[in-house]
Amino acid sequence: MTAGGSATTPRTAIIGAGVMGEMLLSGLVRAGRRVDLLLVGEKRPERAHELEERYGVAVVSNLEAAEQADTVALVVKPQDMAAVLAEISPVLRPGQLLVSLAAGITTAFIEDRVPEGVAVVRVMPNTPALVDEGMAAISPGSHCDEEHLAEAEALLASTGRVVRVPEKQQDAVTAISGSGPAYIFFVVESMIEAGVHLGLPRATASELVIQTLVGSAKMLRETGTHPVVLREQVTSPGGTTASALRELEVHKVRAAFLAAMEAARDRSRELAEGS
């Protein structure tokens, strides 16, 4: 698979060093990747300086990054993807691997804009990768072999879990785990506000809600018990939880979650069309 570097020293470039680009960079550094084999493509000089200072990584032009690397991670916004591909396409070579983290952008969209034989993997990561608890789903494009897929998997495994999914599931994945942290933070924020409304000091409410979230997540992960069973364990007959859950049903929270995730799935589909 080695294209730009020697057979023993494959290089990885990250183009687009915002929230998720830095997530990938910092994860690779924490996982022990050699910094001299990493490159970042970044156009803003002050951001380039910041990344050089923070990680000791070489920040270069997009063209240099694409030319020198064997694997190029594309971490720009979906709306910027066509422009970046037009810029780097002249220096891309068959056998190189492009790993796109952009919501909605299909492997076909990328393959149509790069030389024949460039391998493409589509990834949907999420922000808990910043604390090595990420959830990423990866899907191969049409010129992608097992070695390419394994390399994409290794990139994302540096910051959490990775699953392989058929590409047709990626818009739903985006709606569930890609955007998912935002829904959880929204619930946390709402519960903290409710605690304050009930008279708790904000710091107390925050501590109670965050530890409840962490503990509940740990129960789900460690017991493997279905969430319905865990919910029933909390719900005493005629008790406080039953009263609260009834209100959530009256306010159609379950239906709201379904509608919200359908909206996210539909938006992911639209992003592929450039809107």
Ligand X SMILES: O=C(O)[C@@H]1CCC=N1
List interacting residues with ligand X (CB under 6 A).
103, 174, 178-179
Does the annotation list 16 as a binding residue? yes
Q: Report the SS3 class of residue 212.
A: helix
Q: Does 195 bind ligand NDP (CB under 6 A)?
A: no
Q: Does 65 bind ligand NDP (CB under 6 A)?
A: no
DSSP state of 167: G
Minimal distance in Å, beta carbon 62 to ligand NDP?
Answer: 5
How many chain residues touch ligand NDP (CB under 6 A)? 27
DSSP H helices in 224-275: 227-234, 240-250, 253-271
Q: Which is nearer to ligand NDP, 82 or 191 (CB)?
A: 82
Minimal distance in Å, beta carbon 167 to ligand X?
Answer: 16
* Interacting partner of 19 out of ligand X, ligand NDP, none (Cβ under 5 to 8 A depending on kind): ligand NDP
Closest CA to 162 of 170, 171, 154: 154
Residue carrying structure tokens 């240099």: 64
Residue carrying structure tokens 């080695």: 2
Does the annotation list 20 as a binding residue? yes
- Is residue 158 a contact partner of residue 31, using CB atoms and an 8 Å limit? yes
Beta-strand runs (E) in 165-222: none
Q: Does 178 bind ligand NDP (CB under 6 A)?
A: yes
Minimal distance in Å, beta carbon 261 to ligand X?
Answer: 12
Closest CA to 72 of 131, 137, 9, 13: 13
Q: Does 140 bind ligand NDP (CB under 6 A)?
A: no
- Which residues contribute to the annotated binding site? 15-20, 62
- Which residues contribute to the annotated binding site for NADP(+)? 15-20
